[in-house]
């Protein structure tokens, strides 16, 4: 546990540093070691790419024990801190979720407000904040500087679910920070002015999904950092890009191509 606590403190301090933090989203030992060897100071697993790599599907359709086994192999193979995407928590109580993630060697989690096991029900903003607060309390009780990345899909759902998706994302981000999230992840941010609005609403890093080659709709790393965003992950985009490149290159080896 001592090593885990040290890694957690390292990741927490990186979030509090004020500088840009890029955490490549990985799905197995190979991708994790690749990211570490490229010089990144931390990584995060992604439920989507892990599901694709293991023949499952995203949306809490993996057996959580199997998923944590993948996480454990990754944490055992690299020396940098690892955060785990746990979707909405796989139906677990926050304390059990944190305990099992720590046992797998990860020192942070990504927790979203869409409960896939309940027909993709969207948690009420206070319900989601309460879940994060309970996870924060459990981690603090264990003496670990656990990094919770609070995710909201308010923008992703759009006006069909929320009258003002951006305003909803802002309010949820504020509540998640108050609950103990050390970063917030409003999925679907694309416009520069929207990024700025989220950044100004909270004091913790705002997480953006970026493409490792194409960047983001609001610009490249320098532009996004200038807007105030401070945490960047790839979601499934790195894995998807590798698939596209590989398909194109391998096609030339087809007989008759």
Q: Is residue 248 part of a domain?
A: no
Residue 1 in tokens: 């546990």
Mean pLDDT, 10 residues at a time, over the chain (257 residues)?
91 97 98 98 98 95 97 98 98 98 98 94 97 98 97 95 96 98 97 98 98 97 98 98 96 85
Of 146, 66, 142, which is closest to residue 111 (Cα–Cα)? 146
Structure tokens at 167: 């305003």
Instruction: Supply the Cα-derived Rg of the chain in whole angstroms.
Output: 18
Could you tell me whether strands 114-115 and 121-122 are parallel, antiparallel, or unpaired per DSSP bridges? antiparallel
> 20, 221 in Cβ contact below 8 A?
yes
- Is 42 inside a domain boundary? yes
199 in a structural domain? yes
pTM for this prediction: 0.96
The answer to whether residues 27 and 50 touch, using CB atoms and an 8 Å cutoff, is yes
- Per-residue burial over 146-169, b = 16 or more CB atoms within 10 Å of its CB, e = otherwise: bbbbbbbbbbbbeeeebeebbebb
Examine residue 245 and state whether it is found in any structural domain, yes or no. no
The closest alpha carbon to 165, from 175, 173, 176, 154, belongs to: 154
Nearest to 70 by CA among 51, 89, 57, 97: 51
**DSSP one-letter string for 180-240:** T-SEEEETT--SHHHHHHHHHH-SSPBEEE-BTTTBBTTBSHHHHHHHT--EEE-TTHHHH
Q: Other C-beta atoms within 10 Å of 185: how many?
A: 27
256 assigned to some structural domain: no
Residue 257 lies in a domain: no
Is residue 218, in this structure, part of any structural domain at all? yes
Query: Whole domain around residue 99: which residue ranges?
Result: 2-11+22-240
Per the structure, how many domains does the chain have?
1
Q: Which residue has the tokens 């924060």?
A: 136
Report yes or no on 129 lying in a domain: yes
CA angle 151, 152, 154 (to 5 degrees): 165
| H-helix or E-strand spanning residue 36 | helix 29-37
The domain that holds 39 is classified in CATH as: 3.20.20.60
């Amino acid at each position: 546990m001592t090593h885990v606590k040290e890694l957690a403190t390292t990741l927490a301090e990186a979030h509090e540093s004020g500088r840009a933090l890029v955490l490549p989203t990985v799905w197995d030992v190979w991708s994790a070691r690749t990211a570490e060897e490229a010089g990144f100071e931390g990584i995060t697993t992604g439920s989507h790419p892990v599901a694709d790599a293991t023949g499952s599907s995203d949306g809490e359709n993996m057996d959580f024990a199997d998923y944590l086994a993948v996480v454990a192999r990754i944490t055992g193979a690299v020396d940098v801190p690892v955060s785990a995407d746990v979707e909405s928590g796989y139906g677990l109580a926050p304390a059990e979720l944190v305990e099992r993630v720590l046992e797998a060697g990860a020192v942070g989690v990504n927790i979203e407000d869409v409960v896939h096991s309940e027909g993709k029900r969207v948690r009420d903003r206070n319900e989601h904040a309460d879940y994060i607060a309970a996870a924060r309390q459990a981690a603090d009780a264990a003496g670990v500087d656990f990094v919770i990345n609070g995710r909201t899909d308010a923008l992703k759902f759009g006006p069909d679910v929320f009258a003002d998706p951006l305003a909803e994302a802002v309010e949820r981000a504020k509540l998640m920070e108050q609950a103990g999230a050390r970063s917030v992840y409003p999925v679907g941010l694309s416009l520069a002015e929207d990024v700025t609005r989220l950044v100004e609403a909270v004091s913790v890093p705002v997480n953006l999904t970026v493409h490792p080659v194409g960047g983001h709709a609001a610009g490249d790393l320098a532009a996004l950092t200038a807007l105030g965003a401070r945490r960047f992950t790839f979601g499934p985009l790195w894995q998807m890009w590798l698939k596209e490149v590989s398909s194109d290159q391998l096609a030339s080896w087809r007989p008759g191509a």
